[in-house]
Amino acid sequence: MTTLSEKISDQSTREVSKRVSQSVFDGSRLRVVLLVDVHDGAQQQFLEAYEQLCNQVAQVPGHVSDQLCQSIENPSQWLITSEWESAPPFLTWVNSEEHVRMVEPLHSCVRDTRSLRFHIVRETGGEPAGAASRRRLQASPRIGDGVIRHALTFTVKPGSEREVKRILSDYASPEAQVDETTRLCRTSLFMHGNRVVRAIEVRGDLLAALRHVARQPEVRAVEEALNPYLEQERDLDDQESARVFFTRAALPAVHHVTADELTEGERQALYYPARPDRGMRLAELLAQQDEAAAEDPDDPILRSTIFQRDDVVVRLVDVRPGPGARVLLPEPGRQDALGSLLDGEPVGMDLVTDRRSPDA
């Protein structure tokens, strides 16, 4: 039987470019760590919700195992770890409406959660050699640049696009320094039709940065001004409403590649509407093309980040300025490979604002 991770990719058998600092397409196993702070007196409710959740998750393709652990120092602190065949099946599940419904019973009994995802690079002992050989590890650790890349996407009511652009382009930037270890580096905001994509770059703790931004008065005012125009209603004063909105809006980065050149480029974004259930495969194909482009000294692309959730795929690139900078649309021949995965033509998105913090 072919597993989902094998369908997505078999890159564990080939050399991976050292220019790729982030990718979910290694084919290696994934370890997910969820830190949970449970409300006092809600432990039994939490355990019942967990039992229901783990029985459901066990049926999700790509899931291998999970563990529930309780702190020996603080009984309110719990740790849930799970293992997956690879990152793509986990991301497909965690970004689905099914996941939103599954975890809903947990939120009434927890004070705070934090999710961490890791590729398994090395391990020791515990399994027969045959079983271990079938379990794929990441070939080598990746060398990053210390920047975390994340995006949010949502849609606004048709006809409101011009007003939404005005709101999103006309506000003061929040304070860049979050704390001693975290700093906002860059925010790039694009629109195509009624879809908004906001990409952010952070050094340090992404969750701390997102919470910091949400507390800034200028950002809060913008978010409140947007509310009447959103297709998905939300109430930012209601913690559960805000959580569900931003969970659905999350657009994770699945691949990042950088050419050797350090030149500052022109930032552009391309939106790829994927056919149902083909978004991850489309993102992988684009990742392979950008990886090849990074090896070509004549290619105009300096950096590329691919974001994907369900059937939404966005490719954010920095290209060399000057003639030939608008080269994002697929070249003849490459479009054929994408055609069976696309539900429409890829289109360039309109840049609304691109803000960099000092010393980013």
Answer yes or no: are the C-beta atoms of 93 and 40 closer than 8 Å. no
Q: What percent of the chain has pLDDT over 90?
A: 52
Instruction: Give the per-residue SS3 of the chain.
Output: CCCHHHHHCCHHHCCCCCCEEEECCCCCCEEEEEEEEECCCCHHHHHHHHHHHHHHHCCCCCEEEEEEEECCCCCCEEEEEEEECCHHHHHHHHCCHHHHHHHHHHHCCEEEEEEEEEECCCCCCCCCHHHHHHCCCCCCCCCCCCEEEEEEEEEECCCCHHHHHHHHHCCCCCCCECCCCCEEEEEEEEEECCEEEEEEEEECCHHHHHHHHHHCHHHHHHHHHHHHHECCCCCCCCHHHHHHHHHHHEEEEEEEEECCCCCCCEEEEEEEEECCCCHHHHHHHHHHHHHHHHCCCCCCEEEEEEEEECCEEEEEEEECCCCCCCCCCCCCCHHHHHHCCECCCCEECEEEEEEECCCC
pLDDT at 132: 44
The pair of structure tokens assigned to 257 is 């590649």
Mean pLDDT of the 162-167 span: 95
Residues 6+ apart with CB under 8 A from 59: none
Question: To 10 degrees, the CA torsion angle through 240, 242, 247, 251?
Answer: 180
Examine the pLDDT at 5 and tell me if it is beyond 60: no
Least confident of 21-30, 253-262, 347-356: 253-262
Q: Which comes out higher in pLDDT, residue 358 or 109?
A: 109
Q: Which comes out higher in pLDDT, residue 106 or 229?
A: 229
> Across-strand partners of 342?
274
Name which of 297, 243, 255 is nearest 103 in CA terms: 243
Q: Could you report the per-residue pLDDT of 147-156, keeping only the tens digit for each?
A: 999 999 999 9
Cα(315)–Cα(345) distance, integer angstroms: 14
Examine the pLDDT at 108 and tell me if it is beyond 60: yes
Mean pLDDT of the 255-281 span: 88
126: buried, middle or exposed (CB in 10 Å: 19+, 13-18, 0-12)?
exposed
Strands 30-38 and 77-84: antiparallel
> Across-strand partners of 21?
none
Candidate ranges 8-22, 90-104, 192-206, 208-222; pick with highest mean pLDDT: 192-206
pLDDT at 189: 96
Answer yes or no: are the C-beta atoms of 20 and 142 closer than 8 Å. yes
Least confident of 46-60, 202-216, 258-272, 331-345: 331-345
Amino acid, res. 219: V
Alpha-carbon distance values, 338 to 36, 112, 326, 350 (Å): 40, 41, 19, 22
Mean pLDDT of the 67-76 span: 95
The pair of structure tokens assigned to 193 is 């039709």
Q: What percent of the chain has pLDDT over 70?
A: 88
pLDDT at 326: 55
Nearest 5 degrees, angle CA 294-CA 296-CA 299? Answer: 80
Amino acid, res. 164: V
Q: Could you report the per-residue pLDDT of 122-149, keeping only the tens digit for each?
A: 888 755 444 544 567 777 788 888 899 9
pLDDT at 130: 45
pLDDT at 42: 93
Q: Could you report the per-residue pLDDT of 81-98, keeping only the tens digit for each?
A: 999 999 999 999 999 888
